[in-house]
Amino acid sequence: MSKISIMIVDDDSMVLDSLKLVFEKKEDIDVLATALNGSEAMSKIEQLSIQGQKLPDIVLMDIQMPEMDGIKATSLMKNKYSSIRIMMLTTFEDEHNIRKAILAGAEGYLIKSSEISLMAEKIRAMYSGAIILDHKALHELTKPKGKVLEQLSLREHEIVVLIGQGYSNKEIAQQLHISEGTVRNNLSVVLEKLNLRDRTQLAVFYLNS
């Protein structure tokens, strides 16, 4: 079985070394690189790319760092290396940072106080394609925020509301008594209308509107 390659980015060298030490003990996780800020992380990934070497599957990214913070680094990284999945790793639980991180392209958000075993499980889940939110972060994101812009049709609005509540395409189809294909088509139209990248950004947009 191939290992999950990760990069850890944190300006606290003690946290960085501790996480590196712990994850290196996991048989299925390979710590490919570490960095002390977003700028260093981007430089290392660019070097790996230039040299034709393997890029990290997942980056654990702190938010508040000098030179380049995690939000900016996430945005740059996702725009240039879209295959890399990013897990924000921070002590901050406020919804402002959560929303900014996900809108920048992050697929996950974990609080640093999470147990290492839980972090490892979430890394594996993210590697399999899941979107990961710490339960405290999820609580912040799911606070009701009003309605989506009125430019959407009634059907589109119904689908966006259900996406905002965490339903899958299959579950939305069952709820609205339509086909999954119709859900996908409407979702594509909504994303184009609102100039959003994916359903995660759409969920955040809805919850923040």
Residue 75 and residue 160 share a domain: no
Which 3 state secondary structure label does DSSP give 202? helix
Give me the DSSP letters along 44-95: HHHHHHHTTPPPPSEEEE-SS-SSS-HHHHHHHHHHH-TT-EEEEEES---H
Quote the CA–CA distance of 62 and 96 in Å, as a whole number. Answer: 15
Residue 132 and residue 47 share a domain: yes
Residue 115 and residue 35 share a domain: yes
Query: How many domains in the chain?
Result: 2
Whether 11 is covered by a domain: the verdict is yes
pLDDT tier at 146, thresholds 50, 70, 90: very low
* Predicted local distance difference test score (pLDDT) of residue 28: 94
What CATH number corresponds to the domain at position 65? Answer: 3.40.50.2300
Q: Which among 141, 173, 192 is the end of a domain? A: 141
For residue 136, the surrounding DSSP H or E stretch is helix 135-141
* Predicted local distance difference test score (pLDDT) of residue 138: 60
Residue 190 and residue 137 share a domain: no
Residue 160 and residue 133 share a domain: no
How confident is the model over 100-104, as a mean pLDDT? 80
* Predicted local distance difference test score (pLDDT) of residue 118: 82
Domain around 72: 4-141
Residue 87 and residue 171 share a domain: no
Whether 147 is covered by a domain: the verdict is no
For residue 111, the surrounding DSSP H or E stretch is strand 108-111
Whether 19 is covered by a domain: the verdict is yes
Which 3 state secondary structure label does DSSP give 5? strand
